């Protein structure tokens, strides 16, 4: 994804937990004559979120696209077997981390001509598909992961409503679902100052 965006002339900033691997990824982009940098970012750590937001402010201040891709799937088990510590840890990344990073980056997104937020949810987080008893996700009713991905979609709608932005919201068909072979849906929004 980073490489594809860099090839479209985006300056790609990779938020990475592991500094060494991040630097190596940035170096790979530059070796291909693509523009990019790696900065430390753990979305469960408010300090690195603040540093990432400072970095954007000090390097132009506008962010065209925020891609909330970071995600974990820590427990694949039905509701009755939910491990509360794994549930909390999952929400720290998949929900609280996404909310915190989005909140920190909103001012920079609003400075861009047509800022966009791409939230990587999952078909497994679709309440419609999950409530279809005969649907394809019968064997994947994992409360921990699926509910955290459903929460991301709710967060997305409410962030735009509360922040006084217009949200051009549509579903995108991206790639193929690895479990079903069917198309995978993800969401995209356009942030504009009202």
Ligand X SMILES: NC(=O)c1ccc[n+]([C@@H]2O[C@H](COP(=O)([O-])OP(=O)(O)OC[C@H]3O[C@@H](n4cnc5c(N)ncnc54)[C@H](OP(=O)(O)O)[C@@H]3O)[C@@H](O)[C@H]2O)c1
Give the interface with ligand X as residue ranges (CB under 6 A). Answer: 17-18, 41-44, 69-72, 93, 97, 120, 122, 178
Nearest distance from C-beta of residue 70 to ligand X, angstroms: 3
For the residues of the chain, what is the DSSP string, one character each? -HHHHHHTT--EEEEESSHHHHHHHHHHHHHTT--EEEEE--TT-HHHHHHHHHHHHHTTS--SEEEE----------GGG--HHHHHHHHIIIIIIHHHHHHHHHHHHHHSTT-EEEE---GGG-HHHHT-TTSTTTT---HHHHHHHHHHHHHHHHHHHHTTEEEEEEEEEEEE-TTTSSEEEEEEEEEEE-
- 18 vs 32, which CB is nearer to ligand X? 18
Pick the catalytic residue from 103, 149, 169, 182.
Answer: 149
Nearest distance from C-beta of residue 174 to ligand X, angstroms: 10
Q: Could you give the CA distance from residue 105 to residue 62 in angstroms, rounded to a whole number?
A: 9
103 is catalytic: no
Nearest distance from C-beta of residue 56 to ligand X, angstroms: 16
91 is catalytic: no
Pick the catalytic residue from 145, 161, 169, 182.
Answer: 145
Nearest residue relative to ligand X (C-beta): 71
- 119 vs 165, which CB is nearer to ligand X? 119
- 81 vs 176, which CB is nearer to ligand X? 176
How big is the chain, counted in residues? 194
- 93 vs 102, which CB is nearer to ligand X? 93
Nearest distance from C-beta of residue 93 to ligand X, angstroms: 4
The residues annotated with a catalytic role in the active site are 145, 149
């Amino acid at each position: 994804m980073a490489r594809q965006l860099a090839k479209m002339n985006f300056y790609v900033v990779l938020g990475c937990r592991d500094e060494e691997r991040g630097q190596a990824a940035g170096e790979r982009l530059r070796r291909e004559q693509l523009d990019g940098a790696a900065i430390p970012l753990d979305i469960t750590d408010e300090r690195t979120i603040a540093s990432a937001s400072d970095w954007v402010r000090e390097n132009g201040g506008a962010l065209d696209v925020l891609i909330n891709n970071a995600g974990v799937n820590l427990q694949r088990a039905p509701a009755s077997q939910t491990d509360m510590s794994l549930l909390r840890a999952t929400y720290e990344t998949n929900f609280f981390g996404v909310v915190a990073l989005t909140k920190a980056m909103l001012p920079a997104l609003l400075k861009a001509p047509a800022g966009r937020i791409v939230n990587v949810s999952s078909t497994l987080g679709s309440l419609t598909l999950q409530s279809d008893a005969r649907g394809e996700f019968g064997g994947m009713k994992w409360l921990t992961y699926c509910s955290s991905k459903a929460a991301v979609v709710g967060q997305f709608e409410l962030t735009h409503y509360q922040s006084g932005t217009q949200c051009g919201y549509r579903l995108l068909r991206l790639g193929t679902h690895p479990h079903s072979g069917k198309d995978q849906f993800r969401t995209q929004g356009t942030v504009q100052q009202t």
